[in-house]
Structures are given as C-alpha cells and as structure tokens.
Amino acid sequence: MMAAGKKKPEDKNTDTLGSTRSMRSDAEEQIARSPKSSSDLKGQTSEQLIHELNVHQIELETQAEELQRTRVVLEELKDKYLDLYDFAPLGYIMLNDKALITEVNLTGATLLGANRNDILNHGLGRFIAPADLENWDRYFAKVRRHVKKQVCTLTLLRQDKTVFPARLEGVRTTGMDGTIAVRIAISDITDISDADKALRQSEDRFRQLFTRMPSAVAIYDCVDVGEDFIIKDFNAAAEKIEGIKKDDIIGKRVTQVFPGVRDFGIFAVFQRVWRTGQFEFFPSAIYRDERDPGTWRENWVYKLASGEVIAIYHDITERKRVEEALHESARYTRNLIEVSLDPLVTISPEGKITDVNAATERITGYTRNYLIGTDFSDYFTDPDKARKGYRKAFDEGIVEHYPLEIQHRDGKITPVMYNATIYRDDSGAIKGVFAAARDITERKQAEEALHQANKKLTLLSGITRHDINNQLSVLRGYLTILENKQPDPALTEYFQKLNTAAQRIANMIQFTKEYESIGINAPAWQDCRTLLATAAHEAPLGQVMVKNDLPAGEEVFADHPNSAGLTPTLSQCMGKDC
C-alpha cells in the first residue's frame, strides 16, 4: 500500500521534464546577467572552444544522470519513511499553536476512529473526553511553554463516541519562520490500563488477605548484607499476638523490636532463607524477651521474588496447654489402666491385639510388645469360643458375662468372665473392641465349696425327711387304729383334722425335697399361667375353686422348672381358711 501523497512512476518522468525546462530557463537568465565575454575564452580557436564545450556538456550530462539517480533514491526513501510514518504503532499528530490538527498519520486517524482528511484543520480537543478537557488544556499549554518532552494520560473520545485511555507524549517545535507547532505521539494504553487495574485489584485482594488472615504475617527487608532485617509490614494478627501497633515498629530493626529473636533461633532461619531462597519451617519453640514472658511460636519462612523475607507464624501457646493437658490425661488414664487388677485388652476388627495392660501380661506370661499384633483368641483354652465372643461384640456392640479360660504360657489355666464393648474414632467409625476380664478363680472355688456343702445338706435333709416320713407314717397308722377303736361320732371331726395336719406335714416335707433343687439348676423363663394351674392341681384345695385369670404369655425368670414354690403356698392358705 502506498502512503497518501506518494508519487507514481509516470508522475516522476513528468516532473523530470518540467524540472529540465525550469533549469534551462534559470541558466539562460543567469547568462543574461553575466558579462558577455570571458577573459578565459580569448585566444582560443573555435575548435578549442567547441571541444571545451563538449567536455562541459559531457560533465553536465554525467552530473545530471547522477542527480537523477540520487533523486530516485531519495524518492524511494521518502516513500519508505512515509510508510513507516503512516503505519507506525503510534499515532503522530502535528498541531499548530491553536491546537488545530495540521498533520496526522494513518495510525493516529485510526486511533481517533476518523478519516484523515476529515480531521485536518480541526481541533484535537473534540477527541478529548469531556471529563479530561481541562487536563488537556493545561497539558497543551505546558507543552508550548517547555522545550522538553511532556507526557500525560488522558481519556480520548473516538468519532463513534467510544473512549479509550491514551498516553500523550508532546514536544514543541519552532519553524524557520518562527512558527510554533506541537508534535504529539499518541499510544492506546488500554492493555496497560487493564493490566494496571488488574494489578490494583490483585494488590487490593492481597492487602485484604494480608490484613484479615488469622495467621500472623511479618515482612522484612534485609540490611547490612544479612546482618539484620528491617520490619517492612505487619498484619493485624501479628499486632494482636505481639500486643504492639504496626505504625510503632515499621522501619525498625527486628533485633531492636524483638531482642530475643537470636536466642529464639528464628534469626538464623531468616539469614539462611535470605541467602538460599529456600523455604524453611521453624518448629514450635518458646520465644521470650522483656515484653514477652514466654509464648510458644510456630513459623514458616519464605523469600519473595522481591528479595523480602516473609514469616508466617502462630501463637500456639494455648494449643500447647491443651496438648499438655491431653498428655497428662492420657498418662493418668494409662496409669489407671496399668494399676487395674483386671486384664484389659483392645482388639482390632481383624481380631488382633492392639494394646494390653500389665495385668494381661501377668495372666498370660507374655510381654506387651509380644502380645500386640497377635491373635486375641490364641491365649484361651477354647480359641473358637473366644473368637465368637469378640465377633459378637463387633456385631452387637456389647458382650456381658462371657466365660472363658486364659492359658498362661506355663500351662496354668485361669477362669475369667469377660465384658466387652466397641469403641469408635472421632468420625464415629468402629475402631475396635475394649475387653475387660475378671479373674473368677476364687468365685469358682467358692461355688465348688458351696456345691459340696449343698451336696452334704441335701444328703442330711434326705435322711432327715426319710426318718420324719417314717415317723409320720407310724403316727398316721396309730391315728387310724385309734379312730377304729373309738367309734365316737363326736371325735370324727378331730380325727379328720389330725389326718389333714399329718397330710400337710407330708406336703411340707415333700416341698423341702423339691426346694433343694432351687438355685442348683440354671434359671429359665417359665409361663406364670401354667405354673399356677399346676400348683392348683397339686394343692389339697378341697371344695375351694381357684380361678386362673393370668394371661397367657406372662413369664417369670426362675431357676425351678415346676410349681414347687406355689403348691405349698396354696396349701398353707387352705390351712388358714384364706
């Protein structure tokens, strides 16, 4: 594309002919004004003169050809620079002293959204946004007053009324006739403006994050080649932790504000991070100085791309107190577990032992380290029963009074009664089973002793019942003989009462026999309606009717499988006329 105003090749030839005629006319005028003769030509023959003229003619023709070539080169350079001017990335505008546009390149016209010919001899102010007109007037006046380049940023208004931010660089020029003009280079800085806006927004977000984040943040600048650091910024959380105001410490040395920083150990971390650029975590430690009697701190130290060192830290004093309280509680709980006389064990869902106390070590003969990780059921005389026990705890959540026998490594067997329950983690998931065993050796021995005593008592009571029944049979026989020998009707009632009393004695003796089995057999649920019906059938009720209104399904947990407890009760009621 050719720049506007650029000449075509045929135009150049026409200009050359016109230029030649103009040069001839100028030469003739000069000859007319010059003297008619020259002393240099006197004394020369006509041939010499003709030769001299031919030489001059050739010289002139050579010079003319050289000039023509130079002119073509200059025209080409002119076209090239016109292209560079028109298509430069910046808009170039020439203004006169009244701010009227006298020249503008294509880029300038495009930036303003107008045709170049339509804006010539018009004021540039029409392309300035109304809000920036006063700024434009001041800027133009300043450019006219100063020789040096003047720069400003304005909002320009395109011909279609859209706006864009622009950077104007203007310089004053003075023509040979003293005329003042202003050259202005215009660049569209929309991208830069958008980037600046994004940067400001990012900085604002960073500032809000920096100010509001719960962690303490301090930013330092290195001075004295890493021998000290200047506090450059301090957020609100850091102010709260330290109990000082940011404005009181900004610009001060960290060793001045925090004199205990070297002994604390963080100062050496600052120096290493500043030298290497590598992040470091400074674990929890106690910071002390005259202002701070001692608080726990935890630090993360980084080096920014700007060379600044940033420390993000927390005051974890309260957390340390809680951790210590938890550790103390754990120690206390562990001590309670260890001093327990009952073997205690925790079991994983896979049936592996995860922890034991000292009592478990004693009852099994194995150390805690040995037991942990082994199968829980391996230490019982009946492993299958032990396995079923802890599986039941996982399935039902609890197991109570579950009898097992633990086998010591030396072969000794200890009877125990297990109670077990599941325990969960913080999320509520089942983590394992906690089982406690009670050594019931003494109880077993007591039960065996009681069993032997019961056997002896049963034997004694059996002999006694047998003797009493024998004597009762003799008594009832003599009553029968006496009743037959004394046929006095008045004594019949007395004989009946004596026989009834004898029968009751026999029933009571029978009851003691059945009562011996109470407490021996395992208790079971028994139907109350059935028990009462059986007792009513066995008791000597005579003419008395027993109405059994007990509903079916009502049960009592008793260790005797029959109605022995109810039969004598009904009999006694009959004897008392109840």
Element (H or E) spanning 262, and its range?
Answer: helix 261-264
Q: Express each pLDDT in 66-94 by its tens digit.
A: 888 888 777 777 667 666 777 778 889 99
Question: What's the confidence (pLDDT) of residue 379?
Answer: 95
pLDDT along the chain (578 residues), means of 10: 45 51 63 58 73 80 82 75 74 91 90 90 93 94 91 93 93 88 91 83 81 90 93 93 93 94 95 95 92 92 94 93 90 83 93 93 94 95 94 93 93 93 91 92 84 80 82 82 77 80 81 67 74 73 74 74 54 52
Question: What's the confidence (pLDDT) of residue 204?
Answer: 83
- Asked if 86 contacts 107 with a C-beta cutoff of 8 angstroms, the reply is yes
Q: DSSP letters along 6-62, please?
A: PPPHHHHHHHHHHHHHHHHHHHHHHHHHS-S--TTTTT--HHHHHHHHHHHHHHHHH
Q: Which CATH superfamily includes the segment(s) 213-320?
A: PAS domain (3.30.450.20)
Would you kindly state where each structural domain of the chain is located, as residue ranges? 1-28+46-87, 88-194, 213-320, 340-439, 440-513, 517-578
Domain 340-439 indexed as CATH 2.60.130.10: no
Query: Taking the CA atoms of the chain, what radius of gyration do you get in angstroms?
Result: 61
Question: What's the confidence (pLDDT) of residue 484?
Answer: 80
Smallest Cα–Cα separation from 188: which of 153, 164, 208? Answer: 164
First-to-last alpha carbon distance for the chain, in angstroms, is 137
- Asked if 172 contacts 144 with a C-beta cutoff of 8 angstroms, the reply is yes
Question: What's the confidence (pLDDT) of residue 376?
Answer: 94
Question: What's the confidence (pLDDT) of residue 367?
Answer: 94
Smallest Cα–Cα separation from 403: which of 382, 388, 418, 384? Answer: 418
Question: What's the confidence (pLDDT) of residue 564?
Answer: 47
HEC secondary structure over 411-440? CCEEEEEEEEEEEECCCCCEEEEEEEEEEC
Q: Which CATH superfamily includes the segment(s) 88-194?
A: PAS domain (3.30.450.20)
Domains 88-194 and 340-439 share a fold: yes
The mean predicted confidence, pLDDT, of the chain is 84
